[in-house]
Amino acid sequence: MRSLPSSYELVAPHSLEHVLALMAEEPGTWTPVAGGTEVMVQFGAGKLAARRLVDIGGLAELRTITERGDELHVGAGITYADLRRNPVVASEFSMLSAAASWTGSIANQNRGTIGGNIVNASPAADSLPALLVYEAELVLVSTRGERRVPYVDFHTGYKQMRILPDELIRTIVLPRRYRDYVCCARKVGPRNAQAISKLCMAALAKTSSNRVDEIRIAFGSMAPVPLRLSKTESVLNGSTWSEATLRAARATLQTEVSPIDDIRSTREYRIAVAGNLLEEFLRGLFSKPPNAVLERWNSLSDVDAASEALSCCGSSAWARSMASARPYSDVQELLDRASEVWRGLGADDWMEAFRSHPRIGERHAEKATTAVSAEWSEGEQHDVQNAEEAIKQAIADGNRLYEERFGRIYIVCATGKRPAEILEILSRRLRNDDETELQESASEQEKILQLRLKKWLKQEGA
């Protein structure tokens, strides 16, 4: 049975201040309405219990997304369409952007708001797990002032929240520190949109080598409230990836969730799929395809491996140390070790590497190099080889002055630098004392080393 419009009162104050004053006069009497997507469903079904409604959907104070240093402030009246279109949300909070694209139809996304989704407090809401793992905070406002509440503490039970009768959510605050994290947002339902989730997951993680440095996991439709899996996170945080770790995480997940059987799915199905989604995310973090060059190089003898590595750095001590530390589990471990070994070498070893490079503007090195190294040097200096004669002559004169002053060739990472820029750097470095200049040369050699390693690892279809 449909509701009777005459049974309801609707007011639309022109400012947030007036709304808060109205709510303060009669706490608990007025129900704020923003997009109205849930209110109209209840109204149409004759189940809308609230009789006095205050429209906050047009308030400019609630319709902004603002960058404030290391935080993004999202107004509670921001629609899902606004979230989808915002470039900062898309680049830094991709799970929230994805969830916005799943929420209802395009019409609903144009009307529904993030604040309304929070206070509607459905445990199946698509966007709320993302807010949990992003560790959002809510700014609650009333005539008495403002207060911040961690979102993880906001829902206390089914449709129960830490918000007072005279308060509104004004802002959702998101810390801007997730650029380096791997994120995953998944929805399981009959369709990706226009269907309530059987369950939904948001997760993010930071890893190093074979280790979980930090992970956060949240689910919707798995408890009376959107749920952060803190116990499962504890099992994984700081752990080394293994099948045993995965089994422990799945087992812990089963103890944390408490889904029910309902019209959309069963308890057993939700628990099984939640475990599968978690496993899929974890395996994705650690199942990078092997690098073919690194796999082959790991299998060589120490002598052959060191000989091949000389193309990337002309120090024989560096090459031998790199070869003896094999096998490397992945590319990042190799790159990290390469810099660590280089920085630990002495000046004589550095000098050996410097001599493996031709002078800037020339083609042949003082020390015999590999054919690959010679080819790379020519490519790195391509722009200098083709520079104007005046620039080439100035670089040649600078090379001579440099060698007279320091007794070694001028080393600079030429990749991506214009000839005039290389000459300018040379002129500046001629003013260095010997120790400062040795360290700067070593730093430039390290840059060359890293670039060449990456180039080498891309060979042979890797």
**DSSP 8-state class, residue 227:** E
- Domain co-membership, 54 together with 150: yes
Say whether pLDDT at 426 is over 60.
Answer: yes
Q: Which CATH number belongs to the domain containing residue 81 in this structure?
A: 3.30.465.10
Q: Dihedral sign, CA of 317, 318, 321, 323?
A: negative
Say whether pLDDT at 194 is over 60.
Answer: no
Whose CA is closest to 443, among 365, 339, 368? 339
Does a structural domain hold residue 248? Answer: yes
Whose CA is closest to 221, among 175, 284, 267? 267
How many independent structural domains does the chain possess? 3
Q: Which CATH number belongs to the domain containing residue 218 in this structure?
A: 3.30.390.50
- Domain co-membership, 191 together with 337: no
- Domain co-membership, 265 together with 365: no
- Domain co-membership, 405 together with 333: yes
Report d(CA 234, CA 215) in Å as an integer: 9
- Domain co-membership, 275 together with 386: no
Strands (E), 137-295: 137-142, 145-150, 155-157, 160-161, 168-175, 182-188, 199-208, 211-220, 227-228
| Cα–Cα distance list, 281 to 128, 287, 290 (Å) | 19, 10, 18
- Domain co-membership, 379 together with 233: no
Over residues 344-373, the mean pLDDT reads: 88
> What pLDDT sits at residue 256?
94
| Cα–Cα distance list, 269 to 199, 201, 255, 265, 279 (Å) | 10, 15, 15, 7, 15
pLDDT tens column, 276-335:
999 999 998 887 667 889 989 999 999 999 999 999 999 999 999 999 999 887 888 899
pLDDT tens column, 89-115:
988 999 998 888 877 778 778 888 999
- Domain co-membership, 45 together with 160: yes
Say whether pLDDT at 460 is over 60.
Answer: no
Answer whether 176's CB lies under 8 Å from 186's CB.
no
Confidence class of residue 174 from pLDDT cuts 50, 70 and 90?
A: very high
Over residues 143-165, the mean pLDDT reads: 95
- Domain co-membership, 118 together with 265: no
Say whether pLDDT at 347 is over 50.
Answer: yes
**DSSP 8-state class, residue 48:** -
Backbone angles phi, psi at 342, to 5 degrees: -60, -45
Does a structural domain hold residue 19? Answer: yes
- Domain co-membership, 107 together with 205: no
Does a structural domain hold residue 462? Answer: no
Report d(CA 442, CA 313) in Å as an integer: 11
> What pLDDT sits at residue 108?
79
Does a structural domain hold residue 269? Answer: yes
Amino acid at 173: V
> What pLDDT sits at residue 49?
64
**Rg for the chain, CA atoms, rounded:** 31
Q: Greater confidence, 432 or 6?
A: 432
Say whether pLDDT at 260 is over 50.
Answer: yes
Does a structural domain hold residue 437? Answer: yes
Q: Which CATH number belongs to the domain containing residue 330 in this structure?
A: 1.10.3330.10
- Domain co-membership, 56 together with 73: yes
Q: What is the mean pLDDT of the chain?
A: 89
The parent domain of residue 302 ranges over 293-457
Domain-terminating residue out of 175, 194, 215: 175
Does a structural domain hold residue 11? Answer: yes
Q: Greater confidence, 191 or 324?
A: 324
> What pLDDT sits at residue 20?
94
- Domain co-membership, 222 together with 261: yes
Token pair 């490079």 in the structure block, residue:
357
Over residues 396-418, the mean pLDDT reads: 93
- Domain co-membership, 170 together with 194: no
Domain-terminating residue out of 254, 286, 318: 286
Domain-terminating residue out of 111, 145, 175: 175
> What pLDDT sits at residue 462?
36
Answer whether 209's CB lies under 8 Å from 233's CB.
no
